[in-house]
Amino acid sequence: MKARGIDVAPGELTSTVEGDIEKTEHTIKISEIRVTYHAPLPKDKEETVLRVLKVHPAGCPAHESVKDGIRVKIDADIQWVE
């Protein structure tokens, strides 16, 4: 967000991460990871914020590292502020 001129105070951008584990023939594996970002963000930057969220996965090293073996879903719970 900062690279796009959107300041978020320390501690205001948080995330919830959940995952699913499946049993395989010999072990278990993580089959899906769901990340939901939570933040109060300025309503006048909505278009920019939505664009940032759309391109975020391709620029995230963690996502790029696991995307071929684990489904990753990224969502956001944004509280738009004036």
CATH number at residue 54: 3.30.300.20
Type of residue found at 31: S
Ramachandran angles phi, psi of 15, nearest 5°: -145, 155
Task: Provide the number of structural domains found in the chain.
Answer: 1
Structure confidence by residue, pLDDT tens digits, 29-78 = 999 999 999 999 999 999 999 999 999 999 999 999 999 999 999 999 99
Ramachandran angles phi, psi of 67, nearest 5°: -60, -30
Q: Which domain holds residue 64?
A: 2-81
Helices (H), the chain: 46-59, 61-66
What is the pTM (predicted TM-score) of this model?
0.84
Distance from C-alpha of 74 to C-alpha of 13, rounded to nearest angstrom: 14
